[in-house]
Structure 1
């Protein structure tokens, strides 16, 4: 009798064979990401207005690791983020300056993790893996705002 693995092992073997025989063209991934972005065309874009890693490029090379501070603005939303390297990934602490409970979605290539900010607009996400992400912010009774993609 064989143990069922829900097809994951077979799926991985088939992926490896497909990658070897017919690899995905590099530009296709970029086009797919652009198409994926269009699904939120109805959302307002919050642009990155401050990134502490741009303000002090020398700090990325020398000295103790400092938290990365980011600010996004758009659609009446001001979002401040602090990213800190921690054991197991990156810790994100966020705050919406207009406050109030808000639905927050942390969007990654592999999916979206949802959370809710508190009454003061604060939220936290732990153990985020390195890679691109963006936030989808939907204030109660307000329009959805999506940040630009950032690399953590």
Structure 2
């Protein structure tokens, strides 16, 4: 048996990839851009806000840009070092939301898998990795 035959046998035994996984993979590959800077995840922790309610708090940073993300039933992001719009990307598409004068952005949570994109004050585009909300 050669490698091709082995791969075909394994493929026949394996369960098919669920459609939502295929769509998410296509979305991830379809939105790659080489001229963007990847923001580093520096914090990922739950924050207790009131009796038993939990909000996930993530912080992404790159250069002078920081995104403090609060995930609950919706998305709240404090953006520093960038102005203009925040783009929320999901496997279902993208939503563009203006960054308020105080740096805050509120947006509906379009999907549980997403990433964020902003253009820094220096003109560089900064994007987070894909994460599960």
Task: Return the TM-score normalized by structure 2.
Answer: 0.71
Task: Report the counterpart of residue 84 of structure 2 in structure 1.
Answer: 102
Q: CA RMSD in A?
A: 2.7
> Partners of 1:121 and 1:67 in 2: how far apart?
19
TM-fit CA distance, 1:34: 4.9
Given that residues 83 and 103 in structure 2 are in contact (C-alpha distance below 8 angstroms), is that contact kept between their aligned partners in structure 1? yes
1:66 aligns with 2:48: no
Quickly say closer, same or farther: Cα 1:96–1:31, change in 2 above 3 A. Answer: closer
Given that residues 106 and 114 in structure 1 are in contact (C-alpha distance below 8 angstroms), is that contact kept between their aligned partners in structure 2? yes
Structure 2 residue runs of 5 or longer lacking an equivalent are 1-15
Deviations 1:37-88 (A, max 9, x none): 43x22110012110014xx9xx8xxx7121111100114211101112xxxx
Task: Return the TM-score normalized by structure 1.
Answer: 0.63
User: Which has the larger share of helix?
Assistant: 1
Number of residue pairs matched by the alignment: 114
> Partners of 1:33 and 1:130 in 2: how far apart?
13
Structure 1 residue runs of 5 or longer lacking an equivalent are 1-24, 85-89
TM-fit CA distance, 1:117: 0.4
Spell out structure 1 runs of 4+ moving beyond 2 A.
25-38
User: Which has the larger share of strand?
Assistant: 2
